[in-house]
Amino acid sequence: MDKFFEDWRRPILGSLAIICFFLAWEAILTWGIPLNKFIISKPSLIFAGLFQDMNSGLLWRDLLISGRPLVFGYVAAVLVGIPLGVVMGWRVRVGYSLDPLLTAFYASPLVAVAPLVIIYFGVGVAGKATLIFILCVFPFIFNSFAGVRSVDLLLINAVRSFGGREWDLYRIVIVPTILPFVVAGARFAIGRGLIAVLVGEFFAASEGVGYRIAFYSDMYVLDRMFGYILVIMVIAVAFTEGIRWAERTAFPWRVGM
């Protein structure tokens, strides 16, 4: 029993805290403060509402609507961000030129341009995907950039001394060096991508998770609104933990670093 607790204490304690949080929330609004449905809801109502949205198929449709631009924008961010970051790291002049400009963009709250993006690219998939791309691309750029900068020249020399050519340097040294950096960026980009989806749909949409949250909020159906927020939280955690798990399995040598 002790051994069992020792091995699993992280997930056990973590889950326990979540359960206590919901129980306390439920208890306070049941026996403590009288429930005012216009400003707050409680877990029992939230889960009941969530099941209704699942059964009616509304939740799944909204997830699909929001998921598509997320995939498009995120994949585009990977495809543009990584090569750009690598070139910035490998070619000193490109790095010096672009670093300040891109840092300024990265540091500013880009969601502010959401209305413009929607005007330019429309309320459909294109507009949302563009906004997601704009927010997600920077972690990929800067993490690949930092990754290339941290390539160990000794390893480059070692591979060259055994007859390695340019392509071998990429394959054997550079890509394995930047991979952990890129994965860390990917984890960060997920969070920014989810923000972009919601913000895009808050502004202009007739479907999707963000639209639904805004809609339920406007209608004061707070239990349903909280249900959707809960779903977003679960998705965010699933993605982040999934990437973290992939990181551990794919880079066993990092365990000791």
Partner 1 sequence: MTAGYIQAKNVNLTFTPPNRAPVTALQEFDVAVAEREFVSIVGPSGCGKSTFLNVLLGLVKPDSGEMSIHGKRVAGPGRDRAMVFQEFGLLPWRTVEDNIGLGPELQGIPKKQRRERGRHFIDMVGLSGFEHHFPHELSGGMKQRVGIARALVSDPDVLLMDEPFAALDAQTRDIMQAELLRIWQEAKKTVLFVTHQIEEAVYLSDRVIIMTKRPGRTKSILKIPLARPRGYEMRVTPEFNELKLRIWNELKDEIDSQGGPVRD
Residue ranges binding partner 1 (CB under 8 A): 154-155, 157-164, 168, 172-173, 176, 251-253, 255-257
Burial of 113 (0-12, 13-18, 19+ CB in 10 A): middle
Tokens 């005012």 locate to: 36
Nearest distance in Å: CB 6, partner 1: 24
Burial of 245 (0-12, 13-18, 19+ CB in 10 A): exposed
Taking the CB of residue 235, how many other CB atoms lie within 10 A of it?
Answer: 17
Considering the complex, state which of residue 26 and residue 168 has its C-beta at the smaller distance from partner 1.
168
Nearest distance in Å: CB 181, partner 1: 13
Nearest distance in Å: CB 15, partner 1: 32
CA dihedral 23, 27, 33, 36 (to 10 degrees): 70
Burial of 16 (0-12, 13-18, 19+ CB in 10 A): exposed
Considering the complex, state which of residue 76 and residue 172 has its C-beta at the smaller distance from partner 1.
172
Considering the complex, state which of residue 155 and residue 235 has its C-beta at the smaller distance from partner 1.
155
**Tokens representing residue 224 in the block:** 């349903």
CA–CA distance, 8 with 217 (Å, rounded to integer): 39
Considering the complex, state which of residue 115 and residue 176 has its C-beta at the smaller distance from partner 1.
176
Nearest distance in Å: CB 71, partner 1: 29
Residue 37, helix vs strand vs coil: coil
Considering the complex, state which of residue 37 and residue 244 has its C-beta at the smaller distance from partner 1.
244
Nearest distance in Å: CB 24, partner 1: 44
